[in-house]
Amino acid sequence: MTLPTPSAAVPLEVTDESVVKSTTSGDPKGSEGRSPGRLAWKRFKRDRTGVISACIVIFFFVIGLAAPLIAKLYGKDPYTTYASDRPDLLDAFAYPAGPNGGMSSEFWFGIEPQLGRDVFTFLLYAIRNSLGIAAAATILTTVVGVVIGVTAGYLGGKTDYLVGRVIDILLSFPSTLFFIAFMPVVYGIFVNPDDNTPTSLIVFSLIVVLAAFGWASIARLLRGQVLGLREREFVEAAKVTGASPMRIVFKELLPNLWTPIIIQSTLMLPAYVTAEAGLAFLGVGVTDPTPDWGVMIGRGATFYTEDITFMLFPGLAMVIFVLAFNLLGDSVRDALDPKSKR
């Protein structure tokens, strides 16, 4: 075979949904039916680091989803300032009275200095909100990136040129600065700047702004892949049989692109978690009464010289999550794309 293979990653003939399903939840039974997805799942199961990090990542998502339930069982919520009813919890300088940030059997992770909220439930909800925003932004970015990238690659010509230039420009934008500069712009479209911005609008704007500046890299990658696939025989065959462009894109091209799409989005999610937290830390994203990873670290920063314990919980939780997700991303890539080099 001397066909120019665009990427070793691209499985040749795949029936559409099988890949998606089997990479996420495929069941391996013996060796019959060796679809690429099954093979990838088998490779992934053998990778111990990958499985462990997948468990950690799933753990974070589960506690995020189950946060209200856990908080109910634990009997506290992240908004009540417990110290206002029980002044003995904080000392004269409004720092936790007990040792280690006031950790006790009642307040597992201690009490927040000054306001006296419960750290454990605050962190639970912080994980819930941060992961929710990052996951939504990842999905939106991926969908936009895939649609634009595949369209540009498939249509070629002027569309491709135009999209290519837009991507070039987007990639030379200083991204953090633009996130900061455009958050107020998005709010400004919906509310009067003198009014308080509702949290739901902040979350919506965050997701939109992250996606608006994030789609370019995945679109560029997919465009390149499609350029290679477009000339292949099976696409030509589909064209000859009179398939519509929509059908060719969704039924012929897209199934061959799942590997790069999954790899890219697993890389994107931890990056969005840290970007979102960074914005909240700077005071541009989600703001204080709403629990969030970045809000928590930002709160911790105001009194870290006196009480570092409060900051350690969100900080370490984030390091563990991002590390596990990065390892998971590497393992997913190894499983789906065994020929690629690190």
Phi, psi of 81 (to 5 degrees): -90, 95
CB of 218 to another protein, least distance (A): 18
CA–CA distance, 54 with 325 (Å, rounded to integer): 7
Can you read off the two tokens belonging to residue 265? 């989005």
Secondary structure (DSSP) of 83-122: HHH-GGGB-TTSSBSSHHHH--SSSTT-B-TTT--BHHHH
Q: Looking at beta carbons only, is 18 or 326 nearer to another protein?
A: 326
CB of 303 to another protein, least distance (A): 11
Q: Looking at beta carbons only, is 58 or 191 nearer to another protein?
A: 191
Q: DSSP letter at 197?
A: P
The overall longest dimension of the chain from CA atoms, in Å, is 81
CA–CA distance, 38 with 295 (Å, rounded to integer): 41
Q: Looking at beta carbons only, is 18 or 175 nearer to another protein?
A: 175
Q: Looking at beta carbons only, is 26 or 294 nearer to another protein?
A: 294
322, 326, 327, 332 alpha-carbon torsion, rounded to 10°: 130
Q: Looking at beta carbons only, is 249 or 317 nearer to another protein?
A: 317
CB of 279 to another protein, least distance (A): 9
Secondary structure (DSSP) of 10-49: --SS--HHHHHHHHHH----TTSS--HHHHHHHHHHH-HH
CB of 15 to another protein, least distance (A): 35
CB of 142 to another protein, least distance (A): 22
**Binding positions for another protein, rule: CB under 8 A:** 168-169, 172-174, 176-178, 180-182, 184-185, 188-189, 192-193, 270, 274, 277-278, 281-284, 294, 297-298, 300-301, 304-305, 308, 311-312, 315, 318-319, 322-323, 326-327, 341-342
CB of 309 to another protein, least distance (A): 11
Q: Looking at beta carbons only, is 118 or 276 nearer to another protein?
A: 276
